[in-house]
Structure 1
Amino acid sequence: MSNTRRERDSMGDRELPADVYYGIQTLRARENFPISGLRPLPIYVDAFLLLKKATAIANGDLGCIPPEVSAAIARAADDILSGQLRDQFVVDVYQAGAGTSHHMNVNEVLANRALEILGAEKGDYKRVSPNDSVNYGQSTNDTVPTAIRIGSLLALEHSLYPGLHDAIAALDEKSLAFRNLVRSGRTHLQDAVPVRLGETFHAWSQILRDHRTRIEQAATDLQQLGIGGSATGTGLNTHPQYRDRVVALLSEFLGQPLQSAPNLMAAMQSMAPFVRVSGSLRNLAQDLAKISHDLRLLDSGPKTGFKEIQLPPVQPGSSIMPGKYNPVIAEMMTMVCFQVMGFDSAIALAAQAGQLELNITMPLIAYNLIHSIEILGSALSVLAEKCLRGIEARRDRCRDYAEASLALVTALNPHIGYLNAADVAKESLATGKSIRAIVLERNLMSAEALAQVLDLEAMSAPHGLPN
């Protein structure tokens, strides 16, 4: 048997290795775009496979393609979704505008696997054609934005939401464990009135809950699909019932309430749903970066920093300094956040780069958006497991800082006035005397009243919560 096969497209003939499942258009794309070495994200491939399975079934049911071809394409999609032929999706992320190269890679692999299922030779496209069978009634222009929506929804469900759940649960655990532990608050990195360490963690937990709500709201835009618009949104070459059948099948596959977009042309042209979701991810990343910075500050030391908490050491921190452990999980989280912010900037630029009926930067949007979702989700799960759940409080250090804070004079304002309190703070800083001692020396308050006002537990108790 020959180790090559010959295929033909509108530009001519080419030879391919006989064993590959992609075809001539994929071959040309590999030659044209040796850019990054990055291949399509697996979940984006899954999204295309689910879409192509739905379109094959719908077109078969509607009599647009033969039933045995419809069944073979659907089975081919299931085979690949189960793990077969994953190495056949080979087009670089940075490719032909709109994503035609990756789209044809999917069409060719499905066609050749379907041919194999039907007992035919790969490349015998008279029986099953990448264009006329797998791609019947479709265009890159409506399939790619639909696949981005599906891939993003899958990534949110499989990665980001579980990661957020893990992180929120871990923060809640620490909020409860540290609920009665007082530490010095800090604003502008200067002394501020005392707070509970548990409330610090509770605030972070609430921040992540709020972000999940925002992301879920943004993701509702992804549920409106423009499939069925074909080349320009007019639905040319599609059956009148096709779009609704495909959307119904995809809703079943994903278990989500997907809908056909009210205006297919708008759904194909505007990248606004992706920008909205990406923006919500950027918003989350900005707060996660801040929380990561806070964790590193509170763990700084061990001798020359705050060291109010101890992050779990997970690996040696230095190639030259023995016994050093660094907050590497929080550092990783920070870098992931910065990458997500950079991806969001690229998505915003790409979203306005379309002209008339098509946006030509959709491959960039697809990769950046889905990758952002996945790395944030993975990073959050690692943060929860290897950092947050193992945090220990340095209770003595927290108490010492809280009692030494000059900001305790703030509680004296209603009793001795702002200016007197400021004078007490200045003298304490200059002499090293405690605030309590100076107030008593100046006869500004009685010892009993002062003890009540400077009760750290009472000062740091959140309103409505017991001490």
Structure 2
Amino acid sequence: MDDEQQDGRAVRVERDTMGEVEVPADRYWGAQTQRSLEHFDIGRDTFVWGRPVVRGLGLLKKAAAQANHDLDLLPDEIADAVVQAADEVARGELDDHFPLVVFQTGSGTQSNMNTNEVVANRAVEILGGELGSKDPVHPNDHVNRSQSSNDTFPTAVHVAVALELAERLQPAVDGLVLALEAKAEEFADVVKVGRTHLQDATPVTLGQEVGAWSGQLREAWGDVRHAGDRVLQLAIGGTAVGTGLNAPADFGPTVARHLADETGLAFRQADNLFVQLAAHDGLVAVSSSLRTLAGGLMKLANDVRWLASGPRTGIGELRIPENEPGSSIMPGKVNPTQSEAMTMVVTRVFGNDATVGFAGTQGNFQLNVFTPVMAHGVLESIRLLADACRSFTEHCVVGLEADTVRIAEHLEDDLMLVTALAPHIGYDKAAAIAKQAHRDGSTLREAALASGDVTDEDYDRWVDPAAMTRPG
């Protein structure tokens, strides 16, 4: 409405309860979104970067319109237009109309109103009306009907997190675990030195070592999946403080049912809506489980780069893919860059978890007003972990090779093979043999035979590195 020019750009004048605001004429957002743009120019890290939130808001507004229609609170024509517009938001077709930053009001009110305005203006357009007129579709009276920001925004965040866990992170983790399990099978018969305290230990197989990586990640993903069940509980229907004022009693369950039908995930209205508004412990739990997963990935990445270190003067038992030149000054150098990228991602995930954990303690009375930064932290961690897992799988794990010559050399030098002698000659005599071999640089066999406590035949019978990788 009231199109004008400002700095050469066409604008229209929108109105809210505080007065007139100039809005870019080609944008669907309205007065409250424009006010947030002007008042919160902090960081420019928008929810479009983490578009799962915008998708969640679109899915929620669609489900809300369907629920309001089911409950005879929206007429057919308006409900259909709102559903169509919200669908476009969910599909990402209107992302350019969601410019707001993370650092805004802590309830997400401005992002909720951004969505209401965009959906309303697009619905107005669908019905042949004029942008900014709020006729025949009003952002508050129709799109936000039976809702407040205090229950819609945490609901949209839960939807976003649940979908990202299922669609983005789970396939990436599964792919990495399966690739590691394939390598564990490939290396099942490669016997090597075990290491504890960064010192030589009794033998393991390389397959056992790699299998431990995949096993740790499988267990960590189980924790993530369990925590993810908590975000299937939705705050919708709680409205402003958890009492459900201005929403029919059936509204929240009906919205949850529509969201479940749309996504295939088991969304439901939470048992205690006051808890869902005043605390976001579901997000805290998910973030904590992501930190555990990240810890497992840190171990994996560090073990790989230690085992691949050298290649001539380090451990050098693994060969990593040569993906790119490793140095601008040292020709031919290859670095463990996938491990380095993974470990940097882990540090960011730990930082996000610190933010989410602290923000989760800041609920006051009936509302926690740190929701946007909590959403951003969890969703960024999910995205980074998923991307890092895919990259590490494709550019590192599938190309790992065992340097069996180097592994055999290390195994031959491993003085902790002496552990196999201890049940036969006693701990003290076995320890003396290992210490003597270390002092004079002899092999374990030579020191054992020189002790007089072990014959050549005894040594061959008792010291079997492959047998030492099994119980007994």
Asked if TM exceeds 0.5, the reply is yes
| Preserved contact between residue 33 and residue 100 of structure 2 (Cα < 8 Å) | yes
Gaps of 5+ in 1: none
Gaps of 5+ in 2: 5-9
Superposed CA RMSD in Å reads: 1.2
Deviation at 1:446, TM superposition (A): 2.2
Q: 1:179 aligns with which of 154, 171, 188?
A: 188
**1:102-125 deviation per Cα after TM superposition (whole angstroms, max 9, x unaligned):** 111111111111111111111011
1:383 aligns with 2:396: no
Partner of 2:11: 4
Q: What amino acid maps onto 1:301 in structure 2? A: G
Alpha-carbon distance in 2 for matches of 1:272, 1:101: 23
Alpha-carbon distance in 2 for matches of 1:91, 1:257: 30
Partner of 1:36: 43
Alpha-carbon distance in 2 for matches of 1:263, 1:302: 58
Partner of 2:366: 357
Alpha-carbon distance in 1 for matches of 2:135, 2:90: 25
Alpha-carbon distance in 2 for matches of 1:236, 1:442: 87
Partner of 2:439: 430
Alpha-carbon distance in 1 for matches of 2:185, 2:195: 21
Alpha-carbon distance in 2 for matches of 1:263, 1:123: 38
1:120-269 mapped onto 2 (5 Å cutoff): 120-269=129-278
Partner of 1:23: 30
Q: What amino acid maps onto 2:297 in structure 1? A: L
Structure with the bigger RCO (C-alpha within 8 Å, sep 6+) is 1
Deviation at 1:49, TM superposition (A): 0.6
**1:360-382 deviation per Cα after TM superposition (whole angstroms, max 9, x unaligned):** 10000111111111111111111
Deviation at 1:81, TM superposition (A): 2.8
Alpha-carbon distance in 1 for matches of 2:92, 2:236: 26
| Preserved contact between residue 220 and residue 289 of structure 2 (Cα < 8 Å) | yes
Q: 1:448 aligns with which of 440, 457, 471?
A: 457
Partner of 2:124: 115
Alpha-carbon distance in 2 for matches of 1:70, 1:54: 10
1:73 aligns with 2:119: no
Deviation at 1:83, TM superposition (A): 3.4
- Tell which deviates more after alignment, 303-312 or 252-261: 252-261
Deviation at 1:327, TM superposition (A): 0.6
Partner of 1:98: 107
Deviation at 1:404, TM superposition (A): 0.4
Alpha-carbon distance in 2 for matches of 1:172, 1:376: 19
| Preserved contact between residue 93 and residue 367 of structure 1 (Cα < 8 Å) | yes
Deviation at 1:463, TM superposition (A): 3.6
| Preserved contact between residue 56 and residue 90 of structure 2 (Cα < 8 Å) | no
Q: 1:293 aligns with which of 285, 302, 305?
A: 302
Q: 2:345 aligns with which of 317, 321, 336?
A: 336
Runs of 4+ that moved beyond 3 A: none
**1:304-331 deviation per Cα after TM superposition (whole angstroms, max 9, x unaligned):** 1001001111111111111111111111
Deviation at 1:431, TM superposition (A): 0.9
Alpha-carbon distance in 2 for matches of 1:121, 1:321: 65
**1:130-169 deviation per Cα after TM superposition (whole angstroms, max 9, x unaligned):** 1111101111110111111111111001111001111111
Alpha-carbon distance in 2 for matches of 1:463, 1:390: 31
Q: What amino acid maps onto 2:205 in structure 1? A: R
TM-score (norm 1): 0.97
Q: What amino acid maps onto 1:21 in structure 2? A: Y
- Tell which deviates more after alignment, 389-398 or 401-410: 401-410
- Tell which deviates more after alignment, 439-448 or 359-368: 439-448
Partner of 2:7: none
Deviation at 1:17, TM superposition (A): 1.6
Q: Secondary structure at the match of 2:12?
A: strand
Alpha-carbon distance in 2 for matches of 1:94, 1:316: 40
Deviation at 1:213, TM superposition (A): 1.2
TM-score (norm 2): 0.96
Q: 2:98 aligns with which of 62, 75, 89?
A: 89
Q: What amino acid maps onto 1:429 in structure 2? A: H
Deviation at 1:302, TM superposition (A): 1.2
| Preserved contact between residue 61 and residue 67 of structure 1 (Cα < 8 Å) | no
Deviation at 1:86, TM superposition (A): 1.2
Alpha-carbon distance in 2 for matches of 1:98, 1:240: 23
Alpha-carbon distance in 2 for matches of 1:120, 1:60: 21
Alpha-carbon distance in 2 for matches of 1:463, 1:125: 75
Alpha-carbon distance in 1 for matches of 2:419, 2:330: 42
Aligned residues: 463
- Tell which deviates more after alignment, 160-169 or 10-19: 10-19
Deviation at 1:240, TM superposition (A): 2.5
| Preserved contact between residue 129 and residue 135 of structure 2 (Cα < 8 Å) | no
Partner of 1:62: 71
Partner of 2:317: 308
Q: What amino acid maps onto 2:29 in structure 1? A: Y
Alpha-carbon distance in 1 for matches of 2:252, 2:451: 82
Alpha-carbon distance in 2 for matches of 1:319, 1:29: 46
Deviation at 1:298, TM superposition (A): 0.2
Alpha-carbon distance in 2 for matches of 1:373, 1:206: 20
Q: Secondary structure at the match of 1:186?
A: strand
**1:18-41 deviation per Cα after TM superposition (whole angstroms, max 9, x unaligned):** 111111111111111111111101
Alpha-carbon distance in 2 for matches of 1:240, 1:81: 26
Deviation at 1:82, TM superposition (A): 3.0
| Preserved contact between residue 282 and residue 341 of structure 1 (Cα < 8 Å) | yes
Q: State the identity %.
A: 42
Q: Secondary structure at the match of 2:406?
A: helix
